[in-house]
C-alpha cells in the first residue's frame, strides 16, 4: 500500500513540475514583447502575431510544442526544412518565413537577461 502511495505522489509531483504554460513555450506578441523586441511597425507586429498563431495552432495540433528557445535558429531551419515540418504543417513559403521570424524574435526575448 505504501508503495502505491509513494508511486502516486511521485507521478503527481512529476506531472505538476512538467507543466509549462503556452506563454512560456511561445510568448504572446503583447506590449512587453513589442517593447523588448524594439519593433514599432504595425505590419511587423501583426506578422509576429500571425507567426505565433501558426506555430501554436498548426505545430501544436500534431504534437506538444517545443519552447521556442529549445533550439538555435540553425536547428529551427533544419526542423522546418530538412525534417519537413513546414511541409507537414502545410505552411506556404511565406508562412514558413513568418513562423521562423516569430521564433527568432521570441528566442531573443526569452534568452535575454533581465536588467539588474
* Residue 100 domain-assigned (yes or no): yes
Number of domains in the chain: 1
Q: State pLDDT tens for residues 10-25.
A: 555 544 445 568 788 8
Task: Let me know if 98 is exposed, middle or buried by CB neighbors in 10 A (0-12, 13-18, 19+).
Answer: buried
Q: Is residue 49 part of a domain?
A: yes
**Torsion of Cα atoms, 79 then 83 then 88 then 89, to 10°:** 0
Residue 116, in any domain of the structure: no
Evaluate if residue 91 carries a pLDDT over 90.
Answer: yes
Q: What is the mean pLDDT of the chain?
A: 85
In a domain, 15, yes or no: no
Structural domain includes residue 73: yes
pLDDT (average), residues 19-45: 88
- Residue 36 domain boundaries: 21-111
Q: Is the pLDDT of residue 76 over 90?
A: yes
pLDDT score for 20: 65
Prediction pTM value: 0.79
Q: Are 92 and 50 in contact (CB under 8 A)?
A: no
Amino acid at each position: 500500500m505504501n508503495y502505491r502511495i509513494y508511486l502516486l505522489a511521485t507521478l503527481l509531483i512529476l506531472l505538476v513540475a512538467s507543466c509549462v504554460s503556452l506563454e512560456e513555450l511561445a510568448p504572446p506578441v503583447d506590449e512587453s514583447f513589442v517593447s523588448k523586441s524594439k519593433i514599432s511597425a504595425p505590419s511587423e507586429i501583426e506578422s509576429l502575431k500571425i507567426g505565433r498563431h501558426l506555430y501554436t495552432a498548426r505545430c501544436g495540433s500534431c504534437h506538444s510544442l517545443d519552447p521556442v528557445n529549445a533550439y538555435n535558429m540553425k536547428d529551427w531551419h533544419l526542423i522546418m526544412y530538412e525534417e519537413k515540418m513546414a511541409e507537414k504543417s502545410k505552411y506556404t513559403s511565406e508562412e514558413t518565413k513568418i513562423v521562423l521570424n516569430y521564433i527568432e524574435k521570441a528566442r531573443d526575448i526569452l534568452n535575454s537577461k533581465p536588467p539588474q
